[in-house]
Structure 1
Amino acid sequence: MLGFLQAASQSVSLADSSWIGCPKVDECKAEGGMSVVPPDSLSQHLEGLKLFGNKDQVEAEEEIFKSLNMVLQAVTGDQQLSGKLLQASGIFTTLGQILTSHPRCAVPVTQVLAELAKNEELKQPCIDAGLITTLLPLLKSSDQDLLLHAGRAIGRICYGNNALKLQLVEADVQSALVELLQKAQDNPELEAIGILKTISDLVISLLLGDESMQKLFANGTGLIYQKISNWLMSQNAQLQLTGALAVANFARNDNNCVKMVQLGIVHQLLDVLEKHVEEGDVTVQHAALSALRNLAIPVINKVQMLEEGVAERIQMLLRSEMPPVQFKLLGTLRMLLDGQVEAAEILGQDPALLNRLVQWCEAKEHAGVQGEANRLLASLLRHSKSQEVVRAIQEARGMKHLVSMTTSEHAIMQNEALIALAIASAVNLEIIKDAFKESQLVSNLQKLLEDEMTSPEVKYKSLGLLCSLLGSGDLRKQVEEAKIQDTLENLCNHSNANVVKQAIAALQILKSDTQDSGLFFP
């Protein structure tokens, strides 16, 4: 184990580290819930800490406790003002000295550090003062409060500092964290006071840095990865969450994704999801779906995951009534189907899936779910290019939602809708023309074409879809009644050459007597 942790820390009992004669922080709040510490008073206490922090006498500890209590009130109150004073005071080195020379003061010092590390501007002074080196041995402490605050302080100081995370991993801090997670799992009291979550958060924080994450993965042989299976299979929701988040972060790298699928992590994630289908933990479901989505990014993984029945197994979550789960489920399915013709054809004819998608397309109170449901419908058409899928979506009354999607405020959704509708028109316009008439598709296209804010790409695809619609007598009549010819003539002077070319083609079709639309097939 690294030198940081080999320096055995003194075991400090909760009784020994009590705040002598000092009120708790929540008893020192001013009216309105804000701690009020005058700047002059804070400065005096910071100077007092410097004075007494270098002394070994036990008598100094009472003054240290009092000053730490005042500093804690300040940093939990006016963070901006207290932060400036703390930076100017150079107190950080002193706090490290107090940790090593006054172990009875360790709990309040770590609590102060955990609070001040919430301030972005105070993290670097903590690092410069070598406080991480001083804090790490405390992860071996048997004092629960000390362990809790030290873990929080380390996690907050390291957050966003990828170089420091790599140093910790190279120093093998993960071994201590894994040991703590095991202890916390076996001790409900440690979980109750937040130690399990604190250490779990620290593990995930280390995975947020690309280099530290790769070192921890070590091609599937790293300690953290080796423990994931145990965490996922445990009955503890926090450990399941840690395991799922770890997979999701390891899966930021495509090579890691391929390796993890080969090692069989997918079905372990699915097993976790099944445990939480009925009124389960939403955060665990969300994390597991995020992991599956990331794993499905490499094409080789899509094929293997689909062959192993992942798409069918995660559909158990279709009955979920939790919007975060619904949102992530839809995104995961869409990632799995990307470019997979056979899977899109199968799922695109699944009545249960389509009916649920149409239901979520109408979920106006949850815009994210509504948007993802529309995008998955469009994806089914785009990747299958199947008459049967067109018919199934039409029977589920899904076409009107794709028409509405053309008016989205997001250009990517407009494009996806236009492509899907163009494909549907090309493969089976006859069975969907009535749905297009009822949902005012022609009117939507006209607005897109006339709006100066519409991107050239969207205008081009709108014109292509318009050409397809002219193959239907009823829709051609709608186009003529809307006087879109004037709009097309104006677009012949557009600055984008592709738009001009497509506008000219649409005009020629519109002016011809035949209904040969020259189908636009993206």
Structure 2
Amino acid sequence: MQDEVSVVSAIVMSVTYNLSEALETLKLSSGDKAVDSVESCLECLLKALAHNNVDASRKIQEMGVLPMMPSLLATQNSCTPKVANIIAEVAKNEFMRSPCVEAGLIPPLVQLLNCKDQEVLLQTGRALGNICYDSHEGRSAVHEAGAAQIVAEHIKALAHNTDPATGKLLTVFCGMLMNYSNDNDTLQAQLISMGVIPTLVKLLGVHAHNTALTEMCLIAFGNLAELESSKEQFAATNVAEELVRLFRKQGEHEKKEMIFEVLAPLAENDESMQKLFEGGKGSVFQKVLSWVPSNNHQLQLAGALAIANFARNVVNKSKMLSAGVSDVVLKFLQSEMPPVQFKLLGTLRMLIDTQVDAAEQLGTNRKLVERLVEWCEAKDHAGVMGESNRLLSALIRHSKSKEVVRTVIQCGGVKHLVTMATSEHMIMQNEALVALGLIAALDLDSAEKDFVGSTLVQVLHKLLTEEKSAPEIKYNSMILICSVMGSEPLHKEVRSLAFIDVVSKLRSHENKTVAHQASLTEQRLTAQS
């Protein structure tokens, strides 16, 4: 054991000594451009970096070697790829990226992008990509030097070349553009304006067998697809078909997940969405459905996002419903992941919009309504709480069914709709009032106790007296007042709050519809006083 430790120590000392010696020699040799001498020093540096990158990089910085690199890159010879390789290796360390920029390495590296030598291009792409990684200074310097445009042109020119060495170079160049633009909308928009999207789609088709390159393309798509300016370019390509083709070939679960994370935002574009949907029979759409009940939260969310995007299209809704989407989506009731709950609640709301049968089918599903009532109290997750209230209201509004109303009443949903009527969002207020109006019209006797317990009449009085209430809110509040007059306890509350005085003032409201309804409501109140 002791002998082994001694051997390792000797190797470390040897590497350290050789590195120091090589750095000194390099400083002396770089002036007279002795290629052989410089090359052996560079090889020693690469060995030291391979042995211990962090320590070797620190030593290179301490001995002031970085500022010598531009002159070594100025003349292209057998040393050039080694110099670029050394820069790529040291730039793996975060603490070395700014020094690389300060040493003036970016302009000569960008110049090397114009050469024909594939090894030089490979190492230069690595160097620029590593300097850009998570470094504002690196990205700014590369941006100013115009490297992205040159790299994008290289990728476009080499896209159809399936030679393994070219595949490796393309992977490096794509990685460089990724590091350059990651989390920066301005730089990503610049890449889109350069036309990189059609080129990346082409790569996906030509190099489907190249795992590293397709992975790089997928990550790039994921980043770029979020930008509004990318939607048009994506729609003009056959990206949907390429992704579907790639998906079918995949055995790896993780790669499939990556593909779906790209597909979700792509489905926001109507043209791309229809290609993926294929009338409800598309293999991608079918696969998306299987993701909702998955145990993988990321898959659940990706599936939820994609289904929501498909459901935005009016024509798709009936096809989705006949394909059994609502049954699949109902499986999300078991999900404990708020982002999934939120997205799928919104999806169900979109699906039942103008779909009477679907609204009635879901609205009489006791498990669903009970879960919605439970989530209406999810104060820790405002989004889930809001969407649960809106779906509860939508089930009543779109079905106009006494059975749905009865299910909501029995599950304790009325009080939540009354609370929703006091929301700060006018749309939610209005949706709640319309639903409450239907409850009163379809089954007032069953709802009476809940209306009294949730102080509905007092809420309506407040909505009518508040100046900030929108005309729609005032109108629907008066409709609801008329609807509850058939209940003795509610009628009694209306009389005690002097509603006639409030309503008579609204007869002169600037909105003619509100003024007209105020006259009708006043007549009703007077007749039943």
Aligned to 1:518: none
TM superposition shift of 1:310: 1.2
Q: Which moved more, 1:380-389 or 1:197-206?
A: 197-206
Q: Residue type matched to 1:215 in 2? A: A
TM superposition shift of 1:140: 4.4
Query: Secondary structure of the residue that 1:130 maps to in structure 2?
Result: helix
C-alpha change, 1:162 and 1:470, in structure 2 (3 Å) is farther
Aligned to 2:441: 426
Aligned to 2:127: 108
Aligned to 1:174: 201
TM superposition shift of 1:440: 1.3
TM superposition shift of 1:491: 3.2
Does the 8 Å CA contact 2:152/2:194 hold for their aligned counterparts?
A: no
Aligned to 1:8: none
For 1:496-511, what aligned pairs fall within 5 Å after superposition?
Answer: 496-511=511-526
TM superposition shift of 1:406: 0.9
TM superposition shift of 1:131: 4.1
Aligned to 2:219: 201
Match of 2:423 among 394, 408, 412: 408
Aligned to 2:231: 210
Per residue, is there more helix in 1 or in 2? 2
C-alpha change, 1:126 and 1:415, in structure 2 (3 Å) is farther
When the two structures are aligned, how many residues end up with a matched partner? 465
TM superposition shift of 1:394: 0.9
Does the 8 Å CA contact 1:277/1:316 hold for their aligned counterparts?
A: yes
Cα separation, 2, equivalents of 1:168 and 1:359:
48
Cα separation, 2, equivalents of 1:119 and 1:418:
56
Does the 8 Å CA contact 2:174/2:216 hold for their aligned counterparts?
A: yes
Match of 1:397 among 393, 412, 422: 412
What TM-score do you get using the length of structure 1 for normalisation? 0.74
1:351 matched to 2:372: no
Cα separation, 1, equivalents of 2:330 and 2:137:
40
Once the two structures are superposed, residues 339-383 of structure 1 have per-residue CA deviations (whole angstroms, 9 ceiling, x without a partner) of: 001111111111111111111112111111111111111111111
TM superposition shift of 1:432: 1.1
C-alpha change, 1:294 and 1:66, in structure 2 (3 Å) is closer
Q: Residue type matched to 2:255 in 1? A: L
For 1:5-154, what aligned pairs fall within 5 Å after superposition?
Answer: 24=54, 51-56=71-76, 73=94, 93-99=107-113, 101=120, 103-116=122-135, 125=144, 127=146, 130-133=149-152, 136=155, 140=166, 142=168, 146=172, 149-150=175-176, 152-153=178-179
Aligned to 2:36: none
Query: Secondary structure of the residue that 1:461 maps to in structure 2?
Result: helix
Once the two structures are superposed, residues 61-93 of structure 1 have per-residue CA deviations (whole angstroms, 9 ceiling, x without a partner) of: 66995799589857978xxxx9xx99xx99765
TM superposition shift of 1:176: 2.4
Cα separation, 2, equivalents of 1:512 and 1:347:
40
Cα separation, 2, equivalents of 1:343 and 1:511:
41
C-alpha change, 1:240 and 1:94, in structure 2 (3 Å) is same
Cα separation, 2, equivalents of 1:383 and 1:286:
27
Aligned to 2:506: 491
Aligned to 2:357: 342
1:161 matched to 2:192: no
What TM-score do you get using the length of structure 2 for normalisation? 0.73
Aligned to 2:485: 470
Once the two structures are superposed, residues 103-155 of structure 1 have per-residue CA deviations (whole angstroms, 9 ceiling, x without a partner) of: 54542321123434799977864657624336736994548994784252365
State the percentage of identical aligned residues.
Answer: 29
Q: Residue type matched to 1:426 in 2? A: A
Cα separation, 2, equivalents of 1:238 and 1:494:
61
C-alpha change, 1:501 and 1:148, in structure 2 (3 Å) is same
C-alpha change, 1:261 and 1:148, in structure 2 (3 Å) is closer
Aligned to 1:301: 316
Does the 8 Å CA contact 2:49/2:89 hold for their aligned counterparts?
A: no
What is the CA RMSD across the aligned residues, in angstroms? 4.3
Cα separation, 1, equivalents of 2:84 and 2:231:
44
C-alpha change, 1:16 and 1:52, in structure 2 (3 Å) is closer
Match of 2:465 among 450, 457, 463: 450
Give unpaired runs (5+ residues) of structure 2: 1-42, 160-164
Cα separation, 2, equivalents of 1:119 and 1:447:
59
Aligned to 1:380: 395
Q: Residue type matched to 1:382 in 2? A: R
Cα separation, 2, equivalents of 1:261 and 1:425:
40
Aligned to 2:290: 274
Cα separation, 2, equivalents of 1:148 and 1:258:
29
TM superposition shift of 1:298: 2.2
Q: Tell me: higher relative CO, structure 1 or 2? Use CA pairs within 8 A at least 6 residues apart.
A: 1
Aligned to 2:267: 251
Query: Secondary structure of the residue that 1:115 maps to in structure 2?
Result: coil
Query: Secondary structure of the residue that 2:134 maps to in structure 1?
Result: helix
Does the 8 Å CA contact 1:233/1:272 hold for their aligned counterparts?
A: no
Q: Residue type matched to 1:214 in 2? A: A
TM superposition shift of 1:417: 1.0
Q: Residue type matched to 1:274 in 2? A: S
Does the 8 Å CA contact 1:232/1:244 hold for their aligned counterparts?
A: no
Q: Residue type matched to 2:220 in 1? A: L
